[in-house]
Amino acid sequence: MRFRITKRKWFIIIGSTLVLLLLIPYCILQFYKDEIKSVIEKNIDTNLNAAVTFHSIDFSFISQFPSLTVYMDDMDILGVEEFEGDTLACIKRVDLELDWYKLIFKNEMELNRVFFNDPTIHLHILQNGHANYKIIKRDSAAVDTTDNSSLSLNKFVIKRGSLNYLDQSKDVWFEMNGINHVGKIDYSKDIIDYITDTEIKHFSLRNKKNQYLLNKEITIDLNIEINLNTSSFTFKENTFGVNKFIFGVDGQVAILPKGFDLDLRFASKETSFSDILSLVPNTFSDELKDFTTEGLLNFNGLIKGKYFDTSSVMPLFHLDINVVDAMVKLKNIDTKAKDIQFELVIDNKYGVLDSTVFDLRKLNMDVGGYPIKGRVKVQGFDNIKVDADLLAEVELAQLEKIYPIKGFDISGKLNFELNAKGIYKTKHVNTKFIVESIPAFKLNLALSDGLVKYDSAHATFHNIELFLTGENKDGNPEHTRINLKELEMYLGENLLTGNMLLEGFKSYYVKSDLKATFNLADIESLYPLNNNVVKGLFTANVKLDGYYNSEKKLFPSINASVNLTNGYFKTI
């Protein structure tokens, strides 16, 4: 019995102590409530150049005991000076977890955790470059690093956030909705370690002319070290995702007075070929929604060097893109592009834009049983070096099923072969654009059993037979030779045949022989006559031979014979 009484007393003592531990801070909190509010408002006024208001403020020890949690409802952050009246942020509720002892007895506000619930943030840069979010006062932005003190923010949370960004100086706009962010900050001397896990449900990006991204899902798993002394950011063990496309980034970015110093490497992580299609701008996404794909995609590269707005020098960069065993197929269509092998290298070793090399080292695919293969290497933007070999055998009807062309129906077997090597070089003389050199090339193009039908027309061009060759042996544009050796096509029962030879570039030699037989009553199948009636059998034979030069007013000789039989025209 004596033991039971002693045990009861111990429970009473422990319980009373716990109650006192809860009541004493609570009573102190109620006594100093106005002082706490004053400290918070003073810290805001001291550190921020903005008008900050909140509807109500409340306190609790229960949610994060023994820390004090401050709740501020309906916080608004408003701009001042040239942004007066503009809203920078509206936050439904802000939760601040504080050290209550330092807050009450030392008038110091030490944050442990910060929660933003349902924030809406508006970032705005004016034409003059002034930004509404630069509200931290300079004196407060300076960090005292004379001692070995450290601080940490154990958790920074954004729930269901939204952000709008408008840069009028560069005509860029982006919007984020459904932001859920969890971060942790550790600060020691000049080093800040920031670890985040972020999800953005809808991300959109555009400028005045183009919508690049619309409602894309973004994921960020970021571990970054910020060196305040060197103004540098070091990325380590990071993963970024845009829809299904996942890639990693590591390296360093340093902020320079008028630019950046970059040393970054990036690579895809377990990416399929279909994932890359999720990055296609929404301008084209509607056309791709019915496509199914297979295959693997490997993606890696680097950026290294300094970038300045005022200099033409840029960082060197390298990018490898490899597609292996891919397939593209349109839903409900049997034809598919398969066995796609694609190897592209984009390289710039010297930091000069004109030294950029686009090297498509391999392109192989099978479209409905017909092969397309080749390689293309292009270097530079001013004087463009080209080295290409392309070979394609395509059944146009199969290709049109995979990628339909609106307003057209096409078919026929196309054979294409091109070899090109050399430099495309141009210059401007006064207002004239002059081509000085082109790559030497050899071209063979043939179309058999071709068909073209316009949806807006009732007639069909059919039985198209075409054979064309082209050649330039030394890169001199004037030595270019294009020879349409054979042309034959029908429009209904109407026939067009002929051939044409072109030699030269600025001043070129023309030799052609074209024959046509046409029933004028068939014109209405191509072009509405608005109740007019035209009939008759029209035949023509046109031959050209000679040089054409508009500046010298030279024209080839023309030998033409035209005949109209049983002609009839009536206007109603």
Burial 329-347 (b: 16+ CB within 10 A, else e): bbeeeebbbbebebbbbeb
pLDDT of residue 148: 42
Contact 150, 122 (CB under 8 A): no
d(CA 100, CA 105): 8
Q: How many CB atoms lie within 10 A of CB 241?
A: 19
Nearest Cα neighbor of 71 from 81, 84, 62, 83 is 62
- pTM (2 decimals)? 0.73
Name the residue type at position 90. Answer: C
What is the SS3 assignment for 322? Answer: strand
pLDDT of residue 149: 43
d(CA 165, CA 512): 60
- What DSSP string runs through 228-242? TTTTEEEEEEEEEEE
Contact 390, 418 (CB under 8 A): yes
What is the SS3 assignment for 539? Answer: strand
Strand-strand pairing, 432-437 and 408-429: antiparallel
pLDDT of residue 205: 86
Where is 38: in which H helix or E strand? helix 33-47
Helices (H), 396-435: 396-402
281 to 10, 35, 270, 286, 392: CA distances (angstroms): 70, 54, 22, 10, 28
346 to 275, 322, 419: CA distances (angstroms): 20, 12, 21
pLDDT tens, position by position, for the chain (572 residues)? 444 556 555 555 555 555 555 555 555 555 556 666 676 677 777 777 888 888 887 776 655 555 677 888 898 888 888 888 788 999 999 888 776 666 555 555 567 788 999 999 998 888 888 888 888 766 554 545 444 444 567 788 999 999 999 988 878 888 999 999 998 888 776 788 888 899 999 998 887 777 777 888 899 898 888 888 888 889 887 888 888 788 888 999 998 887 889 999 999 876 777 776 666 655 555 556 667 788 888 889 999 998 887 777 789 999 999 988 888 877 777 778 889 999 999 999 988 888 999 999 999 999 888 899 999 999 998 889 999 999 999 988 887 777 777 778 889 999 999 999 999 998 888 878 888 999 999 999 999 999 988 777 777 889 999 999 999 999 999 999 999 999 999 988 889 999 999 999 888 899 999 999 988 888 777 777 777 788 888 899 999 999 988 888 888 999 999 998 988 787 76
> What phi and psi, each to the nearest 5 degrees, are found at residue 16?
-65, -40
Nearest Cα neighbor of 419 from 446, 389, 378 is 389
pLDDT of residue 16: 56
